[in-house]
């Protein structure tokens, strides 16, 4: 009986080694976070008119990306900057916000990416936006998902409701490049 158990354990061990022998070096999908709080900015300037103060802030990101956080006319949004290219996401963000005066609801930006050998490579960001409803006079929030693809970065979806965090991560993770 003891010999059988040792034999079965040995077979499982060998099978496990064979199944993992071809795996890639460890990589895992992780989230990192950054902030669009003014004190975290690389640069920040106010513009616009009195009564409607606009602003433009540049914030550090990951993997060579920077976030350009803009505001004006009671709306705010994030553009993606990589090297010298900036992707204007105003229109796509306003559509995804689905309401009146969409604006970033807090300072948090979630970066989804792959960590391999201690190096983080982002492929998407997620942030919360709030917008109003003219008929009900109530506001709603939703998570906006942006695929990071240098100069081709784009809003690829949004999630709202009880499972919004998990849904936004699923949308982001579908944008992950497979190499």
Residues pairing with 125 in the sheet: 111, 146
Give residue-wise pLDDT tens across range 69-95.
999 888 999 999 999 999 999 999 999
pLDDT at site 20: 40
Q: Residue 8 pLDDT more than 50?
A: no
Residue count of the chain: 179
If you average pLDDT over residues 109-137, what whole number do you get?
Answer: 94
Q: Taking a C-beta distance cutoff of 8 angstroms, is the pair 102, 108 a contact?
A: no
pTM, to two decimals: 0.82
The percentage of residues in the chain with a pLDDT greater than 70, rounded to a whole number, is 84
pLDDT at site 26: 77
CA distances from 39 to 16, 35, 42, 44, 53 (A): 50, 9, 9, 9, 18
Report the distance separating Cα 56 and Cα 43, nearest Å. Answer: 8
Q: Report which of 39, 76, 35, 32 is spatially closest to residue 54, judged by C-alpha positions.
A: 76
Q: Taking a C-beta distance cutoff of 8 angstroms, is the pair 173, 152 a contact?
A: no
Give residue-wise pLDDT tens across range 37-56.
999 999 999 987 777 779 99
Q: Residue 21 pLDDT more than 50?
A: no
Tell me which residue has tokens 């034999």: 7
DSSP three-state, residue 90: helix
pLDDT at site 153: 97
């Amino acid at each position: 009986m003891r010999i059988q158990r040792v034999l079965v354990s040995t077979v499982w061990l060998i099978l496990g080694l064979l199944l993992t022998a071809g795996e890639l070096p460890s990589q895992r999908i992780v989230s990192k976070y950054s902030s669009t709080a003014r004190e975290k900015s690389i640069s920040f300037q106010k513009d616009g008119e009195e009564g409607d103060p606009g602003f433009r802030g540049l914030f550090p990101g990951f993997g060579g990306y920077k976030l350009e956080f803009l505001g004006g006319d009671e709306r705010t949004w994030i553009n993606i900057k990589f090297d010298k290219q900036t992707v204007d996401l105003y229109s796509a963000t306003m559509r995804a916000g689905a309401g009146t005066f969409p604006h970033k609801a807090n300072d948090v930006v979630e970066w989804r990416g792959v960590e391999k050998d201690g190096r983080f490579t982002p492929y998407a960001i997620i942030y919360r936006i709030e917008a109003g409803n003219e008929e009900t006079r109530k506001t709603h929030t939703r998570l906006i998902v942006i695929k990071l693809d240098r100069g081709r970065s784009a809003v690829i979806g949004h999630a709202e409701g009880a499972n919004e965090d998990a849904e936004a991560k699923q949308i982001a993770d579908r944008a992950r490049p497979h190499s």
